Structure 1
Amino acid sequence: MLSRVCLYLIFLFLPANYTATRSTSPSVPAIPLSDCQQLYTDMQLENVVNYKAFEYALTGAKAIERRNKDIITLIDFSKPSTEERLYVLDIRHKKLLFSSLVSHGKNSGGNYATSFSNEVGSYKSSLGFFVTENTYQGKNGYSLILNGLEKGFNDRAKERAIVMHGASYCNPSVAASAGRLGRSFGCPALPPSLTKPIINTIKNGTLLYIYANDKHYLSHSTILSTEKSISPNSIIALNNRIRE
């Protein structure tokens, strides 16, 4: 009986807000997002674009001088050809402009691109950073010239005639019937219906980044390890000096 009275007196003289203070969890400050994470969130790219590929693309965007800094095209070859894996991103206005199927080289793999090359006649896709140049009408119709910036990975793109163009084998109907898209000689080929609008959006000095979870490329890309802004010609010169 005495113990109950003592317990009653203790609670009687406790501060009025004691119980509330004890039952409320301490406030945990939110962890601030990085600029890259914030942009990814603002553009609503969750469950659409691979974050790691997006992060690498922005790393290159900070390092590479180019005429049009608003538009970045990301091709994610970690995804199968039956899924949309080309994304045209408007960084300035924080918009996803296009999401499209895109073909890879015939010798890079079946539904997945797993093998890459910079060699003439390899018929494989190349990884890394490109800057887009002018358009022309060729044997594949309306096409876009790509300037590969990474020595040993894609700097022979022009020599190999690696360009962006449309192709009937990149139609969604082909993927539905065959279980994969048709494949190119190494060019990132687009569905014919999207070829002109995509090329017209990204031509004349925008950045194109082709990603795959390829350990050799990721560990040897000089652009991904470069923080200061440099021009495409300077990047090629830097690659040459590193390998001399």
Structure 2
Amino acid sequence: MKYKIFSLFALLLLTSFSSLPSKNFETKITTIKANNSLSKVESIYLNLKSNACALPSFDCFSIALEGFNKFKEKGIFKKNILTLIDFSKSSNSKRLWIIDLDSDEVLLNTYVAHGRNTGNEFADKFSNKAESFQSSLGFYATAEIYNGKHGSSLKLDGLQKGMNDNARERAVVMHGADYVSEKFIKNNKRLGRSLGCPAVPEELNDKIITLIKDKSCLFIYHPSRKDKFI
């Protein structure tokens, strides 16, 4: 009888210990929490209204959205418009997106040039230095409009020290250019290049400037610096 009672007690004790959370269980909880924190970004991305265009990569979008939110909290951005440029893609592809974060809609997807010394068809060299004729990566705030040699142009303020904060000094602006066109690609096997500005098609220049002016976010991405953006 004593043996049976002891055995029953031992069984109950073992059962109670086995019900305690294991390290694997804790790991799963941590993973679930991490996935839940990402789910908002994933949800926005998966529900973007693309208007039949290809979407930016998830890596590009998620970094851009995280940076947008951080700078927005500081009061730097006044509009919920996010412009993405993915310089990992061929210049022969439409690698600029303008996204309305209020409606989760892609408003425009088009071509954009990189700097003359940044690469030929593909961008692979970047600089924050004057006279480098290279593109600068990172987060920008759109600033004032002016009329320059390329017509209506939009000044940009680089928000990241050492990466793009010399944008004004370098006159890195958004403007239209005739070398940003499918005709130029057809004749030259690649898009034309700027002196470092994110130049866009002439016929879309005014529309783009109107959409993104007045302190909206512009993010220029390349995976080689993905750990430096935020």
The match for 2:105 among 68, 92, 95 is 95
- The TM-score with structure 2 as length reference comes to 0.79
1:55 aligns to 2:62 (yes or no) = yes
Change (3 A) 1:94 1:167: same
**Contact residue 79 and residue 214 of structure 2 kept, 8 A:** no
- The TM-score with structure 1 as length reference comes to 0.75
Q: Quote the offset at 1:68 in angstroms.
A: 2.6
1:151 aligns to 2:161 (yes or no) = yes
Letter in 2 for 1:187: C
> After TM superposition, where is structure 1 displaced by more than 6 Å over at least 4 residues in a row?
none
From the two aligned structures, give the one with the greater helix fraction: 2
Tell me, in whole angstroms, the C-alpha distance in 2 between the residues paired with 1:196 and 1:137: 11
Q: Quote the offset at 1:151 in angstroms.
A: 0.7
Q: Quote the offset at 1:70 in angstroms.
A: 1.3
The match for 1:110 among 120, 130, 139 is 120
Q: What corresponds to 1:218 in structure 2?
A: 226
Q: What corresponds to 2:20 in structure 1?
A: none
The match for 1:38 among 40, 43, 50 is 43
Q: Quote the offset at 1:140 in angstroms.
A: 1.2
Tell me, in whole angstroms, the C-alpha distance in 2 between the residues paired with 1:83 and 1:192: 17
- Aligned residue pairs total 190
1:68 aligns to 2:73 (yes or no) = no
Q: What corresponds to 1:200 in structure 2?
A: 210
Q: Quote the offset at 1:94 in angstroms.
A: 1.0
Letter in 1 for 2:47: D
Unmatched 5+ stretches in structure 1: 1-30, 225-244
Tell me, in whole angstroms, the C-alpha distance in 1 between the residues paired with 2:45 and 2:165: 29
My pick for the range that moved more, 84-93 or 44-53, is 44-53
My pick for the range that moved more, 67-76 or 135-144, is 67-76
1:165 aligns to 2:170 (yes or no) = no
My pick for the range that moved more, 54-63 or 169-178, is 169-178
Please tell me the root mean square deviation across aligned C-alpha atoms, in Å.
Answer: 1.5
Tell me, in whole angstroms, the C-alpha distance in 1 between the residues paired with 2:46 and 2:83: 18
1:141 aligns to 2:151 (yes or no) = yes
Tell me, in whole angstroms, the C-alpha distance in 2 between the residues paired with 1:179 and 1:213: 24
Change (3 A) 1:173 1:85: same
The match for 1:131 among 122, 141, 159 is 141
Tell me, in whole angstroms, the C-alpha distance in 2 between the residues paired with 1:108 and 1:79: 13
